Structures are given as structure tokens and as C-alpha cells.
Amino acid sequence: MKDISPSSIRSLSVSSDSSFYISFADELKRTDWLFIFLEQYDFYLGNRIMEEISKLLSSDSTFLKSVHHTDVDYYELIKPYFGRHPKHLDDGEYEAIGIAHYLFLKDILHYLIIDEKRIRNFVDRHFPYLMDKLVGGVGFIRDCCLKDKLIDKSQAIDMLTAAKKIIDEGKMVFGIDKNTYEVIIAPILRSLCVSCKK
């Protein structure tokens, strides 16, 4: 795994829950797209997130060399706000929040990627200072293209079109199903297609 010494840290640091990795590796079956992002940003994850992603990905030597592994004790951060059943303490989303907090304190957090609405609301209620950095997987693809300009529009369109195909089959990807596709993905895809034609 990548070194996390202060000299190796860049300002394009990302904390993501497992759904981002799962969406690319298992649902879209495009780890090549995932690696594009891992080359452009510094992704941080911990043991709980590693346990939630597929063994195929978590044992992949290229993946392991492309991410930063950290042992942030996220539970101490979450404990005062946690009202859910204790079994959820192992959910990777909370670890992602703890890592995001750690990166925020170092002034290097660029994005916190979480798709699940309940957890996004949890961040809004208890960690509002992270909200400017909070995006879903689709929002991250959009921002990587339009804001950070680290992937081109055709790549973003290919990714979102592939997501649409999965959703059309009745499955979910990036936490999005047919009911939420028109609200979340469709407007971004339309704006990218229009700007490509100009």
C-alpha cells in the first residue's frame, strides 16, 4: 500500500465507503476505470472497508499499491453520535467518515464519497464541516471531469452510460436504481453530452 508519511500526502485526498469500489469492480466490472481514479487521487481506506470489498479486489496487488491504508480509530469519533444497533458499528461508511475527519484535520480532504442517503444525513447532522467535500459516486465522476479536469468528458459519459445499462437491467449501481436515475444520473449525462457537441 502507498506510504502515508507527511511527505507523501497530496491535497487530492479521498475517503470513500466500500460502495464506490464495489460499483466499479463488481457491478460495472470495470476495475480499469477504478484504477484511473486511483492514479489521479490519493484514496484512503481502513480494515472495515477492505473487508467489505470483494476478495478479488482487496487481494489485487495493483489495487493495494494504489491506495493508502490507515488505522484511524473512527469509533471514538462516531461514538457520541451513534444511536443505531451496535452491529452497524462495523459498517464501512462510519470508517470512511472517520478517515475523512482525519484528512480534514490535516487540511488535505478533497472528497468524502458516500452514496447512502441515511449516512449522508448522518454526516450533515453531526459533521457539517465535511458537507462541502461530500459527494456520491456519480457526483465524484462529474466533479473529477468538470471541476478537477482529471478525466475527459468522453470517459465520464462512458462510465455513466455503463451505469445506466446496469440500472436498466433492474440492478443498482452507485446506490442508484431506476427511481432515482432521472434525478441523479440523467441530468449530469445530458449536460456532458451537450458540452461534448459544442
- Mean pLDDT of each 10-residue bin along the chain, 198 residues long: 46 93 96 96 93 93 93 67 55 87 93 94 93 96 94 95 95 93 92 65
Q: Look at residue 198 in the predicted model and tell me its pLDDT.
A: 45
| The pLDDT value given to residue 90 | 60
Give the pLDDT score at 92.
78
Q: Which fold has domain 6-135?
A: Rossmann fold (3.40.50)
The pLDDT value recorded for residue 93 is: 87
What sections of 23-136 are H helices per DSSP?
A: 31-40, 47-52, 55-58, 61-66, 74-78, 92-105, 117-126
Q: Where in the chain is the domain with CATH 3.40.50?
A: 6-135
| Per-residue model confidence (pLDDT) at position 8 | 45
For 28, 31, 92, the CA distances from 97, given in Å and listed in that order, are 25, 24, 9
Look at residue 129 in the predicted model and tell me its pLDDT: 96
Give the C-alpha separation, 185 to 187, whole Å. Answer: 6
Q: Say which residue the cell 480509530 belongs to.
A: 73
d(CA 148, CA 13): 13
> Which pLDDT score is estimated for 78?
67
The pLDDT value recorded for residue 6 is: 44
